[in-house]
Amino acid sequence: MKDPVPALAAFYGPLAQPPADPFGAYVWEVLGMKTTPARRDSALSALRRVPAMTPDSMRKLGRGKLEGIVRLCGPFVDQRLSALETGIDVFRRRRNLQEQLQGPLRGAWLAVQDLPHVGDGAAARLLLFSSPHQLVPVDAALTRLAVRLGLVTPVDNIRRLSRSVRRAFRAALPRDHAALRRAIVYLGHHAQNTCVEFDPHCTICPLVAACPEGSRRAAEQAGH
């Protein structure tokens, strides 16, 4: 498959990337949990206006003000608040965390997994955007895309499937770090807005011509 990003960029227009510092990238992950990109970006903008985008400044903000901003994301307020407060403590306690993330991948991977609300996909994404490590963050959304695009064959073994998805997108996406970051943003946005889990919008999808599953669904919808 050729690089899907040009088609996605033409369809969606410019998209914001996660912050390049580890704490900002972590906040992005927490605010984006089970919500829309628009709600996540609204909350992130509110934190930037305060400003409260460092562990110390967010701690000084106070729980009441932080909760008001977190509510801009919609449901799961308590979970988001808990993840942010625990994350603040981790970053304040481990002042060398950024240095660890810049170091060898094994140490960086172990360090980032100390953060709450960071599974393998989120950990790889955080490292991609806030460190030199060029990882393809495989999560449920990227796996769904890979399967529908026919890049991988579904298997029951999750680890094997994840490795296949990682290899498939690594072969299709740019090698340049900045371009890879941009690609991951567009693929994630596409999965959240068009190639959704239930009832994907295949008739308007910019990748439908290269997507066996999308072409089938689009034909079925046109037939009705």
**Segments of the chain assigned E as strands:** none
pLDDT for the residue numbered 29: 93
Cα 9 to the center of its chain, rounded Å: 16
Full domain range(s) for residue 43: 5-223
Matching residue, tokens 């960071």 = 118
Q: Which amino acid is at 42?
A: S
CATH number of the domain within which 217 lies: 1.10.1670.10
User: Residue 196: which of 121, 150, 140 has the closest Cα?
Assistant: 140
DSSP 8-state class, residue 196: -
Tally of domains within the chain: 1
Rounded Cα–Cα distance for residues 74 and 43 (Å): 10
Q: What is the pLDDT along the chain (224 residues), one digit of tens a residue?
A: 778 999 999 999 999 899 999 999 999 999 998 898 889 999 999 999 999 999 999 999 989 999 999 999 999 999 999 999 999 999 999 888 888 988 999 999 999 988 888 888 999 999 999 999 999 999 999 999 999 999 999 888 889 999 999 999 999 888 899 999 999 999 999 998 999 999 999 999 999 999 998 888 888 877 65
Rounded Cα–Cα distance for residues 131 and 29 (Å): 15
Rounded Cα–Cα distance for residues 76 and 125 (Å): 21
The radius of gyration of the chain's CA atoms, rounded to the nearest angstrom, is: 18
